[in-house]
Amino acid sequence: MRNPLISVENLAKRFPEPSGKGELTVFDDIWFTIEEGEFVCIIGHSGCGKSTILNALAGLDEASSGVIIIDGQAISGPSLDRAVIFQGHALMPWMSALENIRLAVTSRFPEWSKAQVQDQCEKYLRMVHLDGAHDKKPAQLSGGMKQRVGIARALAIEPQILLMDEPFSALDALTRGSLQDELMGICKSTKQTTFMITHDVDEALLLADKILLMTNGPNARVAEIVVNTLPENRSRDSLHKHEQYYPLRNHLIEFLVTRSRELASEAEGALDGRQTKVVRLDETKPETVTNSEPAPLRAVNE
């Protein structure tokens, strides 16, 4: 069996209680894998630790226990192989759009000539349709344009993995829609491996190949993995016409509204992170996957 590109194994995050007594477990027993070229979304309520998982994948935050293995290596810190698109655009306000991207490109390809760097920056600004905004400072750009620059900056370093923390949550619905379309086009055409946090069920159904559902925190778990059975060539306009759309959507909404809470209050051990249920709504029986036994060399560092 081929190893997945990313394997998250037994990840947990605990904080000391403010009172000083005991620990607060944000999430525990998180296991999932992401294949190369796969687009994975994670959905859950605030406080379940989605952002912490993403930051751990980015190398910006350390989990209390567990490992993240990428390409056969346990990660230990940030890397240019993993680009992050932040919730706020996180552009440097004193740099123009082009300079923001150039900072990333020169870090990724230090051996490149000035002309090569310039070409790369312009190529990605064109890709997000910002040809005319090279010299504009972030303050002169609209919210959607800022996030486009953020996307261009992340993609211009040609990362192995793209990590996105609710990238469109601060945008209005129209802008969000057009950015989703563009992102989908780019990710599909480049087979970009992507992990994304979202609150938006439709966004997840449009973009994701599989959707991780998290129970409410504290003590959050991945309750199930929903396989997106909508056709590959789906688009925002025709999404709702597909017969699988409403069953999937209802399943996700129902999870967010009731099951995420119910599952969280169930007795511990009701969910086994190693045996996360995989849900395919186009089949009658849900299957379960067993995450591969960690090999002795990959001992979980607890």
Partner 1 sequence: MKPTLPLTARAALLSFILFGATVLVWQLAIESSTGTAPNMDPELAALLGPQAKGQSAFPAPMAIFDELVRHVTDPFYDAGPNDKGIGIQLAYSIGRVALGFGAAALVAIPFGFVIGMSPLFYKALDPFFQLLKPISPLAWMPLALYTIKDSNSSAIFVIFICSLWPMLINTAFGVGAVRREYLNVAKTLELGPFRTAWKVILPAAAPTIVTGMRISIGIAWLVIVAAEMLVGGTGIGYFVWNEWNNLSITNVIAAILFIGFIGMVLDQLMGRVQAAVAYAD
170 interacts with partner 1 by CB under 8 A: no
H runs (alpha helix) in 227-300: 245-254, 260-265
C-beta closer to partner 1: residue 65 or 87: 87
- To the nearest 10 degrees (0 to 180), the angle between helices 114-127 and 143-156 is 130
DSSP 77: S
Interface pick for partner 1 out of 26, 97, 157, 208 (rule CB under 8 A): 157
CB atoms within 10 A of CB 302: 9
Q: Which stretch binds partner 1 (CB under 8 A): 10-18, 21-29, 85-93, 219-227?
A: 85-93
257 interacts with partner 1 by CB under 8 A: no
Nearest-angstrom CA–CA distance, 121 and 127: 10
CA geometry: angle at 263 spanning 282 and 38, to 5°? 45
210 interacts with partner 1 by CB under 8 A: no
Compose the 36-75 pattern: x for residues touching partner 1 by CB under 8 A, - for all others: ----------------------xxx---------------
Q: Which helix (H) or strand (E) holds 50?
A: helix 50-58
Q: Which stretch binds partner 1 (CB under 8 A): 31-39, 41-49, 83-91, 227-235?
A: 83-91
Q: Which stretch binds partner 1 (CB under 8 A): 43-51, 90-98, 174-182, 184-192?
A: 90-98
C-beta closer to partner 1: residue 86 or 245: 86
What totals of helices (H) and strands (E) does the chain contain, helices first?
A: 8, 12
175 interacts with partner 1 by CB under 8 A: no
Nearest-angstrom CA–CA distance, 243 and 259: 23
Binding-site ranges for partner 1 (CB under 8 A): 58-60, 77-80, 82-84, 86, 88, 90, 92-95, 103-104, 107-108, 137, 139, 157
